[in-house]
Structure 1
Amino acid sequence: MPRSQETLEKCLSEVLDGKNQAAKKYNIPKGTLMNKIHGRHIKTHGGQTVFMKGEEEDFVEGLITCAKWEFPLNTLDLRLSAKAYLDRIGKSSRFKNNFPGYDWAKSFLVRHKYNLSDRLSNIIKRSRAAVDAEMLSSFSEELTKTLEGVKPEAIFNYDESNLSDDPGKKKLIFRRGVKYPDNVINFTKSAVTIMLCVSANGDILPPYVVYKAANLWNS
């Protein structure tokens, strides 16, 4: 809480407790205190926002919902949504052509930093995004039955990791604290694939690297 707001809150608390010298003590006009007590002319400190608090909260909810539906938006989408809303309700704003600038979008994210964050997204294909908890649980149960009685040195796990040459990552807006900021698309860029295979008792096979090329330099 800003210091001026904190001082005002202390002064109001003392006034409500019957301490008549509070206004003089904190050097706050009595008219300001009366307005606060009776709910008149209440505004936030600093410049006033174009949208009301409830309108901004609706934007926040919309951004979180879009990310939840695997269609996260970026700051340009947020600005376009704000313009569309202003045009639809017929409200004239201080923005040129009702189109907020980049600075407004950044300030919006700062105001709602406890609910939103713009992060680099992980690009994954829709087929991978479709895997849910039920599918993983079913796979785990079947794997347990299949491996029953098999020695650890005979059990190998194989996995791959892609190093993309052009990941095409961009900052998108997600709910604050989301663990995997994924951007689900139907295509991915080319990548170098590194494949690893490890047995259950810790033996590691040499890694295998797959390049997107017919011929490679010896180096």
Structure 2
Amino acid sequence: MVVCSIKPAAEIFAINRTTLMNHVKNYKCNAIGRSTVLTRDEEQLIVHALTKLADWGFGLDRFQLQICVQDYLRRIDRENPFKNCLPGKIGLQDLKNAGKIN
């Protein structure tokens, strides 16, 4: 096993020097992007409710889902980036990805 300093290792393996330094120092950066409005548990609860409604024959379309999330956000009075608390397509896509719903 050959041991060398960070700069030569970065050149040999074509890896950014600061990336190697962060790895050696075990530095973890914060998450990138905007924080989520709903917690993971809240997303799972909504997905569970939607699944039950669909099982009972009451499937919701995208707009109805937006209205449900809007109503929930208004009831808990949580600050959010949505206009009139109404999530857009991207917010709904995150919810779909969280629960693997159609």
State the TM-score, normalized to the length of structure 2. Answer: 0.66
Structure 1 or 2: more strand by fraction: 1
Work out whether 1:94 is the aligned partner of 2:81: yes
Cα offset, 1:69, TM superposition: 1.1
2-structure distance, mates of 1:82, 1:100 = 7
Work out whether 1:116 is the aligned partner of 2:92: no
1:191-212: per-residue Cα shift (whole Å, max 9, x none)? xxxxxxxxxxxxxxxxxxxxxx
Work out whether 1:78 is the aligned partner of 2:65: yes
2:27 corresponds to which residue? 32
1:16-52: per-residue Cα shift (whole Å, max 9, x none)? xxxxx9xx8772523634x8xxxxx6x4x54432111
Cα offset, 1:63, TM superposition: 0.9
- Output aligned runs, 1:22-171, within 5 Å: 27=19, 29=22, 30=25, 32-33=27-28, 43=31, 45-109=32-96, 111-112=97-98, 115-117=100-102
Cα offset, 1:66, TM superposition: 0.6
**Could you list the runs of 5+ residues in structure 2 that have no partner in the other structure?**
none
Higher relative contact order (CA 8 A, sep 6+): 2
Cα offset, 1:104, TM superposition: 2.1
Query: Which amino acid in structure 2 is aligned with residue 104 of structure 1?
Result: G
State the TM-score, normalized to the length of structure 1. Answer: 0.33
Say how many residue pairs are matched.
85
2-structure distance, mates of 1:32, 1:52 = 25
Query: Which amino acid in structure 2 is aligned with residue 88 of structure 1?
Result: R
Q: Which has the larger radius of gyration?
A: 1
Query: Which amino acid in structure 2 is aligned with residue 32 of structure 1?
Result: Y
Cα offset, 1:74, TM superposition: 1.1
Structure 1 or 2: more helix by fraction: 2
Cα offset, 1:115, TM superposition: 2.6
Q: What is the percentage of aligned positions where both structures have the same residue?
A: 26
Query: Which amino acid in structure 1 is aligned with residue 75 of structure 2?
Result: R
**Could you list the runs of 5+ residues in structure 1 that have no partner in the other structure?**
1-20, 36-40, 118-219
The structure 1 segments of at least 4 consecutive aligned residues displaced by more than 3 Å after TM superposition are: none
